[in-house]
Amino acid sequence: SKRIKTLSVRRPILYGNTAKKLGEIRPANAPVEHTHLWTIFIKGPQNENISYFIKKVVFKLHETYPNPTRVIEHPPFELTETGWGEFDINVKIYFVDEANEKMISFYHRLRLHPYTMSATGTKLPGTDITITESGEVRSIFYDEVVFNEPNENFFKILMST
């Protein structure tokens, strides 16, 4: 349908990852060299529903993972895995068909450790990283998806939720 000019609608999202060291409890199928359990996610800041505008999320993992392209078609838009290393995850967010919008693509650096390494191997204090009392590492970002001049159908969908 017709596009509404000079209007933009913003929807907040949180994205990032949490990670825990694998202790005595480890998934039965986790390879021995895997040291961490991690989850990458996209969600509403207050855990509100985001599936009325997001259709699916594709996480592209490091090529050391079997079937590195992981497609999540329903909320929660998250993926849990085990592993040993940090790497950049390509995140692609696809919007509902009514939006008639191109997907957005960006990278999130998977964080497993409560620090970052400099080129010389020294530990630098991490800016984007927090650690909880239970020892969970978190690297989470707030962002906004901006829909410029949404069509009338999609505008109704955005406003009705």
Residues in touch with ligand SLL (CB under 6 A) = 31, 62, 64-65, 83-87
Decide whether 1 or 80 has the Cβ nearer to ligand SLL: 80
In the bound state with ligand SLL, the residue whose beta carbon lies nearer, of 87 and 115, is 87
Taking the complex as a whole, how short is the minimal distance between the CB of residue 99 and ligand SLL, in angstroms? 34
Rounded to a whole number of angstroms, the minimum distance from the CB of residue 63 to ligand SLL is 8
Question: What distance in Å separates the CA atoms of residue 59 and residue 54, rounded to the nearest whole number?
Answer: 14
Complex with ligand SLL: residue 86 or 101, whichever CB lies closer: 86
Q: How far is CA 141 from CA 115, 117, 134, 144, in A?
A: 17, 20, 21, 10
For the beta carbon of residue 110, count every other beta carbon within 10 angstroms: 22
Q: Give the nearest distance from C-beta 81 to ligand SLL in angstroms.
A: 8
- Give Cα separations from 105 to 16, 35, 94, 140, 145 (angstroms): 14, 28, 9, 17, 12
Collapsed DSSP state (helix, strand, coil) of residue 13: strand
Residue closer to ligand SLL (CB basis): 27 or 31: 31
Shortest approach of ligand SLL to residue 108 CB, angstroms? 14
